[in-house]
A and B are shown apart, each in its own frame.
Chain A
Amino acid sequence: MNFKVIEELVEKFYEGSTTPAEERQLRDFFSREAVPPHLSVHADLFRYYAETGKEELPDPEFESSFLAAIDEVPAIPMYSRKKQFFFLTGIAAAVLLLAGMVYTFRNDVFLRSSKKSTETEIAYQQTKNALAMLSANFNTGLDQAQKLENFQRGLNEVQKLQAFQKGIDQMNKFSKFYQYQQIIINPGDKPRP
């Protein structure tokens, strides 16, 4: 092959402008033994490429160990793993929340039963007294209320009396009518007071 062509291809190669086909051409050329010294650097590089390209994964059991590995890993698709993750996160959150509540509650009870026990006692007694007082007064209040009820009954009676009063007024009108009748019949008579 014409070295001129190769030299041009080499220049293009270092500029990154060779096509894969041209690079294959260079590789083929340099894989031959006889290369002029001024091209030997590039020959070395292309021989390195060719050699490295033959490198293989060393483990001959690779495929079978992969198959064993995927047998061990249960065949869970990604989406269900995601679901599982969210489910577990949910449970974890619930447990934490519960734990937090229990802790807070226990703390509260603890404080009441130890530090504030005497205060609580006093408060209890005071509350009890207050309640007793309230209940006693409540009873008298009840009596009063019963009296009020009687008063109400009285009021009702009075209202009935009022109705009676209306009747009396009517009667009074009659009596006035009677007076005027008397005046008409006996004009000489003075009206009675």
Chain B
Amino acid sequence: MDLHEFKIQVFPLKNKLFRLANRLLGDSEEAQDIVQETFIKLWNRREKLDEYRSVEALAVVTIRNLCLDKLKAKKYPTERLENLKSDIPEPGTELRTDLSELADKIKEIIWSLPEQMKTIMQLRDIEGYDYEEIAGILGMNENAIRVNLSRARKKVREIMINRKLYEFQSN
């Protein structure tokens, strides 16, 4: 793959890759560096890129692995669900939130999910990949992907409803 083809096939992936990295690392500057690193890794393998069925899938696998390495090396303090539940605000403190505030809250809830759920949710619900593609990227079977995704969605809904209840009460 030459530079011209690389620009056509790999450059447009930058935002998708950035979103995944940002979701996994929770730091947009680091996410950006990781996208750069991913691009360079792919560029160094440019001779073999044509052998892959999907350069995009390879790019996602690459950036996920880089993110996991980074997380392992840094031992990021990822909040667990238990911590988050106790973080539910006191009744009456929350009024109707605007969209960006709400987005931050949901982002926080998703951040508390285990990495695999986060990745699956990101790839499916944000990027619109089908189960087959996600199964290929994560090296799992499609049913396991579906089960994990269902759990992730339900978990997010559960936490959201818990918070919403207080809002309804305050109204």
Chain A residues, CB < 8 A from B7: 63
User: Pick the contact of B18 from A47, A48, A57, A70 — CB < 8 Å?
Assistant: A57
Does B85 have its Cβ within 8 Å of any Cβ on chain A?
A: no
Q: How far is the CA of A65 from the CA of B37 in the complex (A)?
A: 12
A-B contact list, 15 entries, CB within 8 Å: A14-B153, A14-B154, A20-B130, A24-B128, A41-B161, A42-B157, A44-B102, A45-B157, A53-B19, A53-B127, A57-B18, A59-B32, A66-B36, A69-B40, A78-B44
- Return the CB mask of A142-156 against B: 1 if under 8 Å, else 0: 000000000000000
Q: How far is the CB of B14 from chain A (nearest CB, A)?
A: 5
- Of the candidates A23, A56, A65, A66, the one having the most CB atoms from chain B within 10 angstroms of its own CB is A66
For A73, the closest partner residue in chain B by CB is: B40
What's the Cα separation between A73 and B48 when bound, in Å?
Answer: 18
Q: How far is the CB of A3 from chain B (nearest CB, A)?
A: 18
B11 at the A/B interface (Cβ < 8 Å)?
yes
- Alpha-carbon gap, A78 to B42, bound state (A): 11
**Could you tell me if B45 and A78 are in contact, using CB atoms closer than 8 angstroms?**
yes
Closest approach, in angstroms, between the C-beta of A53 and any C-beta of chain B?
Answer: 5
- Determine the chain A residues whose CB is within 8 A of the CB of B80 once the complex forms: none
- 1/0 per position for A8-25, CB-CB distance to B under 8 A? 000001111100100110
Residues of A bordering B, CB below 8 Å:
13-17, 20, 23-24, 40-42, 44-45, 47-49, 51-53, 55-59, 62-63, 65-66, 69-70, 73, 77-78
CA distance A40 to B165 in the complex (A): 12
Residues of A within 8 A of B28 (CB): 58
Q: What's the nearest-Cβ distance from chain B to residue A57, in Å? A: 4
Q: In the complex the two chains form, is B153's CB within 8 Å of A70's CB?
A: no
Question: B40's contact among A24, A49, A59, A66, by CB below 8 Å, is which?
Answer: A66
Residue of B nearest to A50 (CB): B126
* Contact status B146-A48, CB under 8 Å: no
Q: Please, which residues of chain B bring their CB within 8 A of the CB of A41?
A: 157, 160-161, 164
The answer to whether B157 touches A55 (Cβ under 8 A) is no
Whether a CB of chain A sits under 8 angstroms from the CB of B47 is yes
Report how far A77 CA is from B45 CA in the complex, Å. Answer: 7
B19 in complex: contacting residue of A55, A63, A73, A77, CB < 8 Å: A55
**CA of A12 to CA of B102 in the docked complex: distance in angstroms?**
24
CB contacts (< 8 Å) of A56 on chain B: these are 15, 18
Given known pairs A23-B125, A62-B14, the reply for A16 and B153 (CB within 8 Å) is yes
Q: A48-B107, A62-B32 are in contact. Are A70 and B40 (CB under 8 A)?
A: yes
Given contacts A13-B153, A52-B107, 11 further A-B contacts (CB under 8 A): A16-B146, A24-B128, A41-B160, A47-B103, A49-B125, A55-B22, A57-B18, A57-B31, A57-B32, A69-B36, A73-B40
B95 to chain A, nearest CB (A): 15
Instruction: Specify which chain A residues have a CB less than 8 angstroms from the CB of B103 in the assembled complex.
Output: 47-48, 51-52
Interface pair A49/B156, CB less than 8 Å apart: no
Flag whether B149 is at the interface (Cβ < 8 A).
Answer: yes
Known A41-B164, A58-B28, A65-B36: A48·B102 in contact at CB below 8 Å: yes
Report the minimal beta-carbon distance from B40 to chain A, rounded to whole angstroms: 6
